[in-house]
Amino acid sequence: MSYSMYQQPAFPQLYQQSTAQTSQPQQTQSQPQQQTSSYPGYAAPQQAASTPTPQAHSAPGPGQGQVVQVPPREEAVGNVAHIAVTGCTHSTVGGIVRGNFTANGQNHGRPTYKKDTQVNGLDVQLYYWDDRDGPNFCGWWFGPKVGGDQVWAYHPSSSAGTPPRTGWKVPYDGPPDPTFVITPSQPPSQAAQAGATQAPGQAQAAQTQAQAQANPQASQQQAAQALQQQYAAYTQQLQQQQAAYMQHYAQQAEQLKQQQEQMQQQMLAAQQKAMAMAAMKSKQEEMKAKQQAEMKRKAEEHQRIMEERKKQADEQRAAMKIRQYMQKVRLSTEENLAQHHQELADVMKEELIKCGTGAPKVKEECDQAVEQAKTRIQAWDPALRESSLTGNSTVSAEKPRHSVTAPRLHVGVVVVPQQIAWVVERLGRFHKILDPGLHFLVPVADRIAYAHSLKEEAIPIPNQQAITKDNVTISIDGVLYLKVVDAYQASYGVHDPTFAVTQLAQTSMRSEIGKMTLDRTFEERDAMNHAIVQAVNAAAHSWGIEVLRYEIRDIIPPTSIKQAMEMEAEAERRRRAEVLQSEGDRQSEVNLAEGKMQAAMRQARGDAEAIRERAKATAEGIRMISSAIAESRKGEQAASLRVAEQWVSAWKEMAKKSNTLIVPANAGDASGMIATATSIMKQLGPLGEDSPAVTDIPPADGSKSTFGNEYVEGGDGAKQD
């Protein structure tokens, strides 16, 4: 709606309309309504004079008609085809819903109405919606379409068969608006016709009444004055209403403009937000894809590492099982060597294939263990054979560790070698320990039960698996150095001292490895050796054995760790090489720069010295020439001749080295060139204070010389006396 659509009616028409409105009967109290004409305020004077109603009246303001406020009740408009919506204090919704509506079908069994005109390009519908979507959605609604998401006003009545007159909520979740009223109305064409038919009748009645009262002249004048006053009042009221309308529609236009700008800003903000959301979503999807790819890569890497660790664990488990039987073979005697060798072969058939890349090394260790056992047994077998042939059986105590033998039977006299201790039992009980030297024993009653070597011995500790503090499995072996310090404890303290000490050294080594990281195992070998010696001595003291030292031979990490260490070492070596190379290049550049500087300085000094020497030689030559010229009258002529020769030689060289030949203007006149050279000498001035004047030498062709006024005949270029 815009103000340009409004046309101000003429005063007679307004008067007839107001008379017609006052002549219409007032509606009963059973149907209270808020009466507002198409142009609020035009009918206000006549309505003020109409019959008062019991309802409370509000004072009409500028541009507003009389408003009758009634308590909201579910009172319907009835089955009519046309209704009118008036009132509504909401600034935005009021401009949308106010106006005339026409029946436009049904929805959920009740009539729907559509506004006769659109608002901002949108239809305005009045419809009913049942409780199929819940009781909160049941009632009468104003919206751009039936069942749409956008609504402007709401009435919760579910019992009214037609639109309720009052009790409407604006907006739909706000309080009821008492000024919002719906009333039945006539079609626009019928209302205009009714107004046109009633206007002549009312005018005729007013004219008849005026004529009936026109008899007295005073009454006529009073009526005329009253009519003029009424006309002036109407004119003033119309002007006020027109100004109010103009202000009202200007405010509406400004509000619409602000709403459009706000909608545009909201649309722009929504579009920007949508674009930002799309960009953010795209970025999130990209990040999610990257994260998924990274997670997949890490999962694959983790799976590969776990498979490799599992494979290494299986290989280590198989190698450990084989090494257990290998240790039994190492400690075997002649009686059980074959049995232990067969057990080792059976285990190797099952477990060697599981050792993977370490299978060749394990097989080599097994072969070495068997060979060592055979060699050790063969070392003390000849003594047994010799003693059995002579009838004197011998005993070898601690066969796996010692090759010391002693005669089991004797005749009462025995000789103990140096660094050997024999343990003698008498009638099955310990009797004494024989030191090196001659001893007497009781035959049959005394028996040499054990023989111990008091020398320091080296016992190899077989390769075993150990786990470091940072969960890296390594293979480690070593050598244990020990000696017997108490022959009695070594004989009766433990059954097999060698095996006991070996097992204790292995467990101590695994315990110490578990306290260190992989890097520390390479750096702190001495600390580990000392800790292992202390741990073994704590238990071996009661066995009569003292551990002197322990040495770790090899620490072999897994293949992957070894490769990483090799790569790290290679990178470090490459870094050091690059640093050394850069330092060498820098030093080389410095040396070259210093050499160039010294060479340039020496070259400069040499050039300066050469220039000085040339200058000295030139000066000396000039002095000699000057002296010669000064001493001889003919010297000047000789100098002139020398200059002329140099002149000619210069022209010769210039012509020889260029395609462009430069020749004198008179190339055939040699005497003229000589005369020119001589004139140059003349212009240089006297050679000295005592030098005589140079005699002019005229040209050979007899022309006047530039040196004087004499003329010379002949072409030899010599001066004629």
Domain regions of the chain by residue span: 3-196, 409-455, 639-721
Axis-axis angle for helices 359-390, 337-351 (nearest 10): 170
Higher pLDDT pick, 174 / 601: 601
pLDDT recorded at residue 352: 87
Residue 339 has pLDDT above 50, yes or no: yes
Cβ 486 vs Cβ 540: under 8 Å: no
pLDDT at 338: 86
The helix (run of H) or strand (run of E) holding residue 110 is strand 110-115
Say which amino acid occupies 263: M
Please check the confidence at residue 289 and state whether its pLDDT lies above 60: yes
Q: Is the pLDDT of residue 141 over 70?
A: yes
Q: Which amino acid is at 184?
A: P
Q: How confident is the model at residue 693 (pLDDT cuts 50, 70, 90)?
A: very low
Pull the structure tokens for residue 218: 């005073």
What H or E segment, with its residue span, contains residue 465?
A: strand 457-467
CA distance 519 to 526: 14
% of the chain surpassing 90 pLDDT: 15
First to last CA, the chain: 135
User: CB 636: neighbour CB atoms within 10 A?
Assistant: 23
Taking residues 92-110, what's their average pLDDT? 91
Cβ count near 488 (within 10 Å):
15
Q: Bigger pLDDT: 395 or 361?
A: 361
Phi and psi angles of residue 6, each rounded to the nearest 5 degrees, phi first: -85, 135
φ/ψ of 654, rounded to 5, equals: -65, -40
Q: Are 172 and 71 in contact (CB under 8 A)?
A: no
Estimate to the nearest angstrom the gap between the alpha carbon of 272 and the chain centroid. 26
Phi, psi of 394 (to 5 degrees): -120, 160
pLDDT tops 50 at residue 697 = no
Residue 155 has pLDDT above 90, yes or no: yes
- The larger pLDDT score, comparing residue 34 to residue 166, is at 166
Give dist(CA 672, CA 136) in Å, integer. 134
**Banded pLDDT at 7 (limits 50, 70, 90):** very low
What is the rounded distance in angstroms from the CA atom of residue 219 to the CA atom of residue 4? 43
Q: Of 172-186, 221-235, 466-480, which range is least confident?
A: 221-235
pLDDT at res. 99: 93
- CB 182, CB 131: distance < 8 Å: no
31-45 in b/e form (b: 16+ CB < 10 A) is ebbbbbeebbbbbbe
Q: Which two tokens stand for residue 155?
A: 């009435």
Residue 153, pLDDT > 90, answer: yes
Reference 122, options 248, 259, 4; nearest CA is 259
Beta-bridge partners for 183:
84
Q: Which of 358, 365, 360 is nearest to 327 (CA)?
A: 365
Looking at residue 128, its pLDDT comes to: 95
Residue with the bigger pLDDT between 189 and 5: it is 189
Which contiguous run of DSSP H or E holds residue 449? strand 446-453
Annotate 678-693 with DSSP letters as a single string.
HHHHHHT--SSTTPPP
Q: Tokens standing for 488? A: 């009695």
What is the band of 202 on the pLDDT scale with cuts at 50, 70, 90? low
Q: What is the structure's pLDDT at 59?
A: 36
171 prior amide bond cis, ω within 30: yes
What was the pLDDT predicted at 650? 79
Question: Which value, to the nearest 10 degrees, does the dihedral of the CA atoms of residues 7, 13, 19, 20 take?
Answer: -80
CB 140 within 8 A of CB 122: no
pLDDT by residue (tens digit) across 646-679? 888 877 777 776 556 566 666 666 667 677 766 7
3-class SS of residue 715: coil
Q: pLDDT tens across 211-260, in order? A: 555 455 666 777 778 788 878 888 888 888 888 888 888 888 889 999 99
- Would you say 466 and 513 are in contact if contact means Cβ atoms under 8 Å apart? yes
Give the bridge partners for 37, in sequence order. none
Query: If 0-12 CB within 10 Å is exposed, 13-18 middle and 19+ buried, where does residue 169 land?
Result: middle
Q: Which of 21-30, 205-214, 352-361, 669-678 has the lowest mean pLDDT?
A: 21-30
Give 295's contacts (C-beta < 8 A, 6+ positions apart): none
The pLDDT of residue 23 is 42
Helix residue ranges per DSSP H, 407-558: 487-492, 497-513, 518-523, 525-540
**3-state DSSP helix/strand/coil percent for the chain, to nearest 5?**
55, 15, 30
Hey, what amino acid is at 217? Q
The side-by-side arrangement of strands in the sheet containing 457-467 is 457-467, 473-484, 545-556
pLDDT (tens digit, 9 = 90+) per residue, 445-468? 888 888 888 888 888 888 888 888
